[in-house]
C-alpha cells in the first residue's frame, strides 16, 4: 500500500519538484553529518545562534534587547546556552525575527534537546524555506513563457545564493520566501493576500522595505476597486480594514524597534561594519561610475516599459547598497525577487542584467567550486 502511494506521488511530481526534493534531501544529509558546533557551512557564521539567544533574552527583559548591547543583557536572564557573539550591539532586526527564533531559544536554553541539534534545526528551517522560495521563483518565471536560457541561468544563480546562505544560518531566506509568495499572489489577482504576506515580510526583516512600492500599488488597487454589490463592498472594506490594521501594527512595531536600535543608538558601530560599498568604491571611481551608469540605463529601460514598481524597487536597493554602513554579500538575496515583478520579457532581462552586474561589481558571486571546497574541508 505504501509503495503504491509513493508511486502515485512520484507520478504527479514534475521535473522541477523532483530536482528540488533531491537537492533538499542532499543538503539535509550534509547538515545531518555536519561536525561543526555552529552547524553552518563555513564554521564561522554565528548570526542564527545570536538570534536564538536574543529571543530567549526577550522573554526576560522585553524590548531592551533592541536598545541594549548583548554584553550588558547576558547577566539579566538565566541561560543554559548563552551565545555571546557580537556582544557590542543590540538586536538590529524587527520583532518578527524574535518570534521566529523564540522556539529555538526555548529549546536550547531549557535544555529540552541538544544545543547542536537546535542549531541544525534552525539551518534546516532555512533550507526548507530556501527551496520553497526557489520553487515558486522558478514557477513564476516559467509561467510567463521566458526562454530556457534566462530561466535556467537566473534560477541557477538564485539557487546558489539561497542555498549557500541558508546553509550558513541566515534567516533572510525566509523573508525572501514571503516576498516571492506575495508577488505570486499578486500575479494570480489575490491583491489582498499579497498585501498581507508582504506585510509579514516587513515584520520579519527590515530589508523587505525595498518592496514598499509594490505594497503601495497593492493597497491602492484594493482601495479603489469598484464593486456594484453592497455586500461585496462591505466585505471588501472589512478585509481592507483588517489588512491595513495588520500593516499599521507592523509599521509601528518596526518603527519602534528601529528607533530603539538605530535612531536612539547608545552603542558604537563595530569597525567591521564601516566598510560599505561606497567606501570600497571610494578608491575606484571608475567602478562606481560604471555601477551608477548601468543602473541609470536599466532604470530608463524599465520606465520606458512601464515597469515602475521594478524600477523604484531597484532604486531603493541601489540606495541601500551605496549608503548602508554594513554592506554584506548576502544582502544581494533581496534583489532577486525584483525579476518576478514585471510582465514583459525586456523588463525581466533588464532587471536580471542589473542584478548580475551588481553582484559581479561587488564580488558577490557564489561559486559551485567554492562550495565543494568548503564541503571537502568540512568532512576532512
pLDDT tens track for 129-186:
999 999 999 999 888 777 788 888 999 999 999 999 999 999 999 999 999 999 999 9
Grid cell for residue 326: 554594513
pLDDT tens track for 279-323:
445 556 677 788 889 999 999 999 999 999 999 999 999 888 877
Residue 246 CA: distances (Å) to CA of 63, 106, 236, 253, 287:
20, 27, 15, 11, 42
CB-CB contact of 355 with 335 (8 Å): yes
Burial 199-231 (b: 16+ CB within 10 A, else e): bbbbbbbbbbebbebbbebbbeebeeeeeeeee
Distance (Å, whole) CA 310 – CA 307: 6
CB-CB contact of 108 with 116 (8 Å): no
pLDDT of residue 135: 96
Tell which residue, 251, 230, 144, 235, has the closest CA to residue 187.
Answer: 144
Tell which residue, 355, 332, 65, 338, has the closest CA to residue 173.
Answer: 332
Q: What is the pTM of this model?
A: 0.92
Specify the 3-state DSSP secondary structure of 349. Answer: helix
Least confident among 148-152, 157-161, 197-201, 212-216 = 148-152
CB-CB contact of 52 with 44 (8 Å): no
Amino acid at each position: 500500500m505504501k509503495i503504491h502511494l509513493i508511486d502515485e506521488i512520484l507520478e504527479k511530481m514534475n521535473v522541477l519538484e523532483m530536482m528540488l526534493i533531491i537537492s533538499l534531501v542532499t543538503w539535509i544529509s550534509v547538515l545531518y553529518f555536519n561536525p561543526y558546533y555552529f552547524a553552518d557551512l563555513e564554521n564561522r557564521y554565528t548570526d542564527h545562534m545570536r538570534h536564538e539567544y536574543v529571543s530567549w533574552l526577550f522573554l526576560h527583559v522585553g524590548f531592551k534587547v533592541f536598545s541594549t548591547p548583548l554584553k550588558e543583557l547576558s547577566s539579566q536572564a538565566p541561560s543554559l546556552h548563552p551565545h555571546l557573539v557580537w556582544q557590542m550591539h543590540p538586536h538590529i532586526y524587527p520583532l518578527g525575527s524574535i518570534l521566529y527564533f523564540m522556539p529555538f531559544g526555548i529549546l536550547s536554553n531549557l535544555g529540552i534537546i541538544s544545543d547542536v541539534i537546535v542549531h541544525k534545526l534552525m539551518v534546516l528551517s532555512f533550507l526548507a524555506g530556501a527551496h520553497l522560495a526557489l520553487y515558486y521563483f522558478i514557477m513564476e518565471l516559467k509561467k510567463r513563457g521566458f526562454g530556457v536560457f534566462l530561466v535556467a541561468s537566473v534560477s541557477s544563480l538564485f539557487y546558489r545564493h539561497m542555498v549557500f546562505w541558508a546553509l550558513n544560518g541566515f534567516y533572510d531566506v525566509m523573508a525572501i520566501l514571503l516576498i516571492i509568495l506575495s508577488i505570486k499572489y499578486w500575479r494570480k489577482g489575490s491583491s489582498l493576500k499579497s498585501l498581507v504576506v508582504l506585510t509579514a515580510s516587513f515584520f520579519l526583516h527590515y530589508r523587505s522595505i525595498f518592496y514598499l512600492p509594490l505594497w503601495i500599488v497593492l493597497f491602492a488597487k484594493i482601495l479603489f476597486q469598484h464593486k456594484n454589490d453592497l455586500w461585496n463592498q462591505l466585505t471588501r472594506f472589512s478585509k481592507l480594514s483588517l489588512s491595513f490594521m495588520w500593516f499599521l501594527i507592523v509599521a509601528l512595531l518596526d518603527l519602534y524597534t528601529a528607533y530603539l536600535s538605530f535612531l536612539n543608538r547608545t552603542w558604537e558601530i563595530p569597525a567591521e561594519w564601516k566598510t560599505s560599498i561606497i567606501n570600497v568604491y571610494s578608491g575606484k571611481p571608475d567602478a562606481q561610475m560604471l555601477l551608477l551608469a548601468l543602473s541609470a540605463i536599466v532604470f530608463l529601460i524599465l520606465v520606458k516599459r512601464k515597469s515602475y514598481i521594478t524600477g523604484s524597487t531597484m532604486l531603493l536597493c541601489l540606495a541601500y547598497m551605496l549608503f548602508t554602513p554594513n554592506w554584506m554579500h548576502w544582502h544581494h538575496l533581496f534583489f532577486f525577487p525584483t525579476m518576478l515583478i514585471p510582465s514583459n520579457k525586456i523588463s525581466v532581462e533588464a532587471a536580471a542584467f542589473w542584478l548580475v552586474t551588481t553582484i559581479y561589481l561587488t564580488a558577490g558571486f557564489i561559486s559551485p567550486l567554492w562550495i565543494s571546497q568548503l564541503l571537502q574541508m568540512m568532512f576532512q
